[in-house]
Amino acid sequence: MPPLLFYLFALITLGFGFMVVTGRNPVTCALSLAASFVGLAALFLSLDAYFIAVIQILVYAGAVMVLFLFIIMLLDIKTEEGKKLNMPAIVSGVLLAVLLTLQIAAVVGSTELAKKTSQDTPLALAEAATKIGKAAALPTITNDLKSGTLPDAKLIGFTLFDQYGFHLQVIGLLLLVGTIGVVVLSKRERSAP
């Protein structure tokens, strides 16, 4: 990815992220968050993580944001204009954020690992076809690798079902419990007789 595009998408992600934090109208905040997530998905694309980028758009910018907008409009939340700002919280929040950013920048600046570029770590697709262990038994993956395309979703799927099958089922159970929890929480309590 050309550096210019990286800076553009980083600016979109952080700029709209800033609008989420400072916006007065919840609907503006929700839409800014969606835009910020789209910028983040573009950054994922630049890291050759195509599957994660698509998931980011579908789940975050799609499902999660619709849920947020739905709740904002259901509750009919007004802009919090007129309310006085909570100065101590704002000052401490900004201070903590600046300190954390500086600390992360200092750590990143002092490690050798962080100086790696994508030229230092080029993807070796054709060579990888013979070295991927059990996944090499699957022609759909090896053929993609030999023809020079990255079978991103297939490799994530293989990793998930090969090594993390149990965890995947636990996640499925978590989603089920979450669904039941939402139904229980949003049921109106009956008034005591």
Partner 1 sequence: MITLGHYLVVSGMLFSLGLAGVIARRNIIIVYMCLEMMLSAANLALVGFSRFHLANGLPDYTAQSLVFFTITVAAAEVAVGLAIIVALFRSKQSVDVESVTKLQG
**Window 171-190: residues binding partner 1 (CB under 8 A):** 171, 174-175, 178-179, 181-182, 185-186
Least distance CB 193 / partner 1 (angstroms) = 20
CA 84 to chain centre: 33
The interface with partner 1 within residues 101-140 (CB under 8 A) comprises 101, 104-105, 108-109, 111, 113-121, 123-125, 127-128, 131-132
CA distance 112 to 43: 22
Q: Contact 37/112 with Cβ under 8 angstroms?
A: no
Nearest residue to 71 (alpha-carbon basis) of 38, 30, 36, 32: 30
Nearest residue to 17 (alpha-carbon basis) of 52, 43, 50: 43
CA 119 to chain centre: 25
The interface with partner 1 within residues 20-79 (CB under 8 A) comprises 20-21, 23, 26, 29-30, 33, 36-37, 40, 43-44, 46-49, 51-52, 55-56, 59-60, 63-64, 67-68, 71-72, 74-75, 77
Residue 167 binding partner 1, by CB under 8 A: yes
The interface with partner 1 within residues 69-88 (CB under 8 A) comprises 71-72, 74-75, 77, 80, 83, 86
Nearest residue to 43 (alpha-carbon basis) of 24, 25, 16: 16
- Please tell me the count of residues contacting partner 1 according to CB under 8 A: 91
Residue 191 binding partner 1, by CB under 8 A: no
